[in-house]
């Protein structure tokens, strides 16, 4: 089985991409116990989870928080074909380059290992980021600058990777999904989600947007903050009718406002799905 490691900025990215491949590519959750994962993935991830430093755990009203070795495996999905397993990793931010670099160094070592039971003779990498105000081209350039020195031994053409596309280099491959507002070079995942979810909840979004606008003065989401925060607030409020009290991550994962037909018509969704299913 060929693993595809998908490095995401956060849980919302993972919720969206998992929903996308379920709706458009018939992917299914891979829910078997970690010990039954194909070798050496079972040992590799088992070791990472076991190395968490429990003494650094913090206890909050919402429950204990045990520090993870970033990036952490958060979800796994199996594509209909017999070969590819998508492993979604939460990096907890766009600035975790040191942690991701260490993880990639371990993967490169597995890719170069001559031992078939302890190595990974083939795998794919997908980097998922918001374009933000940097823009798609600069975000892509940053990925290349940061990770080419680590990956060049197994992906000698990594520096030629294009945005929202797949690059194949023998048994290894790499791709990236960079979220931006449709028709623009900048933006975030929220710029993709808002129009998609508006198709089936226009009136709720309008009411939610007015509510947010009426109450943002003096708050963290007032006009001077990034627009993505206000969009998150609007989508969260609009999703409360059948996901009361839930976060936007849950709404993106489960809401009927995201529909298969609308995703299939979205050029951006088709592009992201293509990267994840053809790598």
What are 157's two structure tokens?
A: 């053409």
Q: Is 217 helix (H, G, I), strand (E, B) or coil?
A: coil
Is the pLDDT at 130 greater than 90? The verdict is: yes
pLDDT interval class at 146 (50, 70, 90): very high
10 secondary structure, DSSP code: S
Q: Give whole-number Cα distances, 125 to 44, 98, 176, 244, in Å.
A: 16, 17, 8, 36
Residue 7 backbone phi and psi in degrees, to 5: -90, 115
Helix (H) or strand (E) holding 232: helix 227-238
Report d(CA 196, CA 131) in Å as an integer.
18
Rounded distance, CA 88 to CA 115, Å?
Answer: 25
Beta bridge partners of residue 62, listed in sequence order: none
Task: Read off the pTM.
Answer: 0.91
Say if CB 76 and CB 30 are below 8 A apart.
yes
- What is the CA angle 182-277-96, rounded to 5? 70
Site of tokens 């998508």: 86
Please choose, from the candidates 137, 265, 98, 136, the residue with its C-alpha nearest in 3D space to the C-alpha of residue 195: 265
Confidence of residue 215 (pLDDT cuts 50, 70, 90): confident
**pLDDT one-digit tens code per residue, 240-256:** 888 888 899 999 999 98
3-state secondary structure of 87: strand
Mean of pLDDT over the chain: 89
Phi and psi of 78, rounded to 5°?
Answer: -105, 130
Q: Which pLDDT score is estimated for 75?
A: 94
Element counts in the chain: helices (H) and strands (E): 9, 9
């Amino acid at each position: 089985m060929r693993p595809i490691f998908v490095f995401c900025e956060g849980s919302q990215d993972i919720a969206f991409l998992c929903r996308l491949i379920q709706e458009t590519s018939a992917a299914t959750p891979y829910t078997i116990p970690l010990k039954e994962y194909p070798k050496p993935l079972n040992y590799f991830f088992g070791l990472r989870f076991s190395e968490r430093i429990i003494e650094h755990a913090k206890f909050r009203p919402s429950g204990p928080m045990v520090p993870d070795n970033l990036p952490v495996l958060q979800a796994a999905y199996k594509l209909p074909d017999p070969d590819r397993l998508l492993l979604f990793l939460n990096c907890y931010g766009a600035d975790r380059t040191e942690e991701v670099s260490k993880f990639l160094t371990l993967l490169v070592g597995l890719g170069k290992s001559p031992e078939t039971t302890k190595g990974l003779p083939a795998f794919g990498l997908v980097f998922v980021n918001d374009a933000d105000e940097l823009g798609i081209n600069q975000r892509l350039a940053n990925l290349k600058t940061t990770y080419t020195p680590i990956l060049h031994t197994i992906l000698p053409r990594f520096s030629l990777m294009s945005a929202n596309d797949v690059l194949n280099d023998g048994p290894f491959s790499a791709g990236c999904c960079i979220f931006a507002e449709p028709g623009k070079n900048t933006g975030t995942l929220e710029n993709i989600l808002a129009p998609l979810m508006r198709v089936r909840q226009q009136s709720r979004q309008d009411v939610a947007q007015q509510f947010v606008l009426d109450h943002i003065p003096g708050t963290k989401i007032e006009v001077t903050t990034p627009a993505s925060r206000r969009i998150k607030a609007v989508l969260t409020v609009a999703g409360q009718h059948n996901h009361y009290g839930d976060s936007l991550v849950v709404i993106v994962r489960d809401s009927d406002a995201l529909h298969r037909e609308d995703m299939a018509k979205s050029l951006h969704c088709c592009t992201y799905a293509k990267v994840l299913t053809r790598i």
